[in-house]
A and B are shown apart, each in its own frame.
Chain A
């Protein structure tokens, strides 16, 4: 559980870079051209989203708000990044694309962009709203940022033993006791691997591998396992998920070096059967309504000027110090390295 002490620790750290220079760009009233898009989207009647943030409560809330505003039904297919990448690739190869919008990590989105998976979204009224360093690039829109920390079981980990640094995970007391998202496949584990390898060198992971971490792909299924005491430590932990674990004997920690983070992007699939609804949804992701839903769930918003409307607890999570993010050009090389270290 996110305690007051840890909230204060988070708040005391350097503020998140994007929030350093908030610049509010108001949502624009729809012009005639955009009204035609809305009308066409309504005729399409539905939009299908392929979501790599498996189990997160944020996106269903955003989609419900979208449905409420436009009356367009949404469908969601959730799977890990690697599975989604293969699914849409097979659909496009078979000429039967079922999904319209991708909602996935920036690393996999960049890889898919290079594969030619997406099409430009054209004009979006809200495309200019993301603040630096975030920017919609004509094909991808930056929706929010996830940061990663460590989750510990407070019954098993005494305050004096809590990892204060990522390197504290190398302490012998954690041997065989670390649960982790699989670093050998695309996802949070891969983000953690790449960022910490770039910052601490591969020796960090060679030593971490000697700790025999238990890796799987169950993501949110792992949190209750830590809470129940099967493992005292889980890393990397999606910090915003701490808001869902109230009442459980767990605590989210942010190591002093900062948190690895990944941006979540939206994009339209090539061959999407409902391109207008897809454009409308992409634009909605950058609206005040959607951004505040993400913000109040602890995610870093990409649109500035809304921080004052976010709850204190969620804002504290979003203001965590950042360690770094992934470079898509290095992804394949890093996954290969991870597989060689974590056999």
Chain B
């Protein structure tokens, strides 16, 4: 009876987190008026969705994500090969530097690149003009290329993280056989190494492509000003930048993109065939390291160049931008510390920082606990509702943040009963938990599946209740996975914008929204200061995470 009640509670919670906002999206796509207003039902939203304009938007979305993924994957594979399979010096350090951009909120790098590569006044173009005398800019971040470039800042280290482990774990025997049979290094790499990596690279490719389709910041900041819209920005504009919000079309678009995502995720599952894409064989081998001779310094320089371009350049721009009255006007007469004073005195900024940290800490904990419980049910029980729980837990994977945000907006506005989430910090927390649940479930499912059943049985036989066993045996043993998942979700919440921008309210602002707002208000200097504060936090947490991993988990 207790088990049934507990399962019913879990299903109810998952229904609230995933099915309820999805149902509201469907409702919104058919309802003629905004939430809370009397109206009727029709298919006008879907009719409006099927327009030439939206077809172009869909083409932009797919095209940008595809180009970004191909380029990022190529770069990530090369970097992973350098770090995992060559004798390039200081590979451990290079691995840390290459993955650093993954932890930096995209909104911050967007602000920095908006200042670095704007056609007039961007530091890169100013330097180009100074060097060559040319009046034509070298780069223009407000373009298709700019959107792809910014998306790659995050995608490349993300893909690197996915494939580098597989490179390290690969059995070198097949490569050695290829070389001994007379194949050149390049042929061996192309036909054997990449061939062995195909399952990993294919699934990583699809995952990155999906993330690209969901992308919001890059397109909003660099695409929209240039008239380049993608699905997520189109949904945002239909709600906030028209005279009357076009909810039917916005929600119909949201559902349309979910259908696309469902197809991609299903394809990914089919390709994976149930295997994890983090390892190829799951066994530890000493990888065969290619001796590069003098070229090892070239590969070293390439990795450092990647770090300089993706981290040093944007951070430097933020530092410079924080000390000049107007960005693009780097004269001594424009030097100022007013931006620091303004941020220091800005209550909104500090409140948003507090909100963000609180949501990150509580959200990551709540998400991982929920993920752990769901993973337990899926992996270690035979209850009949497992398929339903699995579908509900995975549903947010197919819902981009913007789509989830619209769903929750309607869900909160129409929520019956005395408990109201609208306009509270809980509104954001619930949405974040929903967003992070698939990752948490996946992380813990992998860990739980490796634990023998007898450990749990032993605890139960000795009289421990389920929760005690779960907490003191299972979670304790799966603690490394829990910690890694917690950190990933914490950073996801820290940088989250697409859900936050729809659900925040006065008093419940988060830093990403504040930064976005200030950027559109032309306060680039103050944005630079806030960005540096956020970066300091990111580096602090990253340093703490690595210390935790090394000291307590014994990982290197």
Contacts and interface: CB of A to CB of B under 8 A. Distances in A.
B253 to A, nearest CB: 17
Given A94-B420, A227-B326, A228-B121, A335 B243 contact: yes
A257 B490 CA distance: 56
A83 B120 contact: no
Interface in A91-106: 91-96, 98-99
Contacts of B34: 86, 89-90, 93
B245 to A, nearest CB: 5
Interface in A247-265: 247-248
A224 B334 CA distance: 14
Interface residues of A, number: 47
Interface stretch (A5-13, A160-168, A215-223, A294-302): A215-223
A137 interface: no
A206 interface: no
Interface stretch (B101-109, B177-185, B439-447, B521-529): B521-529
Contact of B506 (A75, A80, A184): A75
Contact of B241 (A48, A217, A222): A217
Contacts of A48: 506-507
A239 interface: no
B507 A230 contact: no
A185 B423 contact: no
A218 B520 contact: yes
Contacts of B414: 94
Contacts of A335: 243
Given A89-B34, A230-B120, A223 B241 contact: no
A186 interface: yes
Contacts of A230: 118-121
Contact of A229 (B120, B224, B239, B422): B120
Interface string A32-70: 000000000000000010100011000000000000000
Nearest to A227: B326
B121 A83 contact: no
A23 B517 CA distance: 40
A95 B121 contact: no
A247 B240 contact: no
A320 to B, nearest CB: 23
Contacts of A186: 243
B412 interface: yes
The DSSP consensus for interface residues of chain B is loop
B329 interface: yes
A93 B413 CA distance: 7
Given A90-B34, A96-B422, A216-B225, A83 B240 contact: yes
Given A227-B328, A248-B329, A86 B245 contact: yes
Contacts of B348: 76
A321 B415 CA distance: 51
A55 B519 CA distance: 10
B221 to A, nearest CB: 10
Nearest to B325: A247
B409 A90 contact: yes
B118 A90 contact: no
The DSSP consensus for interface residues of chain A is mixed
B520 A91 contact: no
Contacts of B326: 224, 227, 247-248
B76 to A, nearest CB: 33
A157 interface: no
A221 B519 contact: yes
B158 interface: no
A283 interface: no
* Best-surrounded residue of B36, B240, B505, B522 (most CB of chain A within 10 A): B522
Given A77-B506, A80-B241, A218-B522, A227 B329 contact: yes
B48 to A, nearest CB: 13
Contacts of B36: 89-90, 92-94
A332 interface: yes
Interface in A162-207: 182, 184-186
* Best-surrounded residue of A78, A91, A221, A229 (most CB of chain B within 10 A): A221
Given A82-B242, A90-B34, A90-B36, A221 B120 contact: no
A93 B37 contact: yes
Contacts of B354: none
Contacts of A76: 348, 506
Contacts of B239: 86
Contacts of A331: 243
A90 B413 contact: yes
Interface string B1-40: 0000000000000000000000000000000001111000
Nearest to B125: A228
A82 B120 contact: no
Contacts of B225: 214, 216, 218
A228 B326 CA distance: 10
Nearest to B327: A224
A91 B423 contact: yes
B412 A94 contact: yes
Given A86-B239, A94-B413, A78 B521 contact: yes
A171 B187 CA distance: 62
A54 B522 CA distance: 10
List the 9 closest pairs (A to B, CB-CB), nearest first: A93-B36, A55-B521, A228-B121, A220-B522, A229-B120, A228-B328, A221-B522, A228-B120, A77-B506
17 contacts: A54-B520, A82-B241, A89-B34, A93-B413, A94-B36, A94-B412, A95-B420, A98-B507, A219-B521, A220-B522, A221-B521, A223-B522, A224-B326, A224-B327, A227-B328, A228-B121, A248-B326
Given A216-B225, A223-B522, 20 more contacts: A48-B507, A54-B520, A55-B522, A78-B517, A83-B241, A86-B240, A89-B34, A90-B422, A93-B37, A95-B420, A96-B420, A98-B505, A98-B506, A185-B243, A186-B243, A217-B520, A222-B522, A227-B328, A247-B329, A247-B334
Interface of A: 48, 50, 54-55, 75-80, 82-83, 86, 89-96, 98-99, 182, 184-186, 214, 216-225, 227-230, 247-248, 331-332, 335
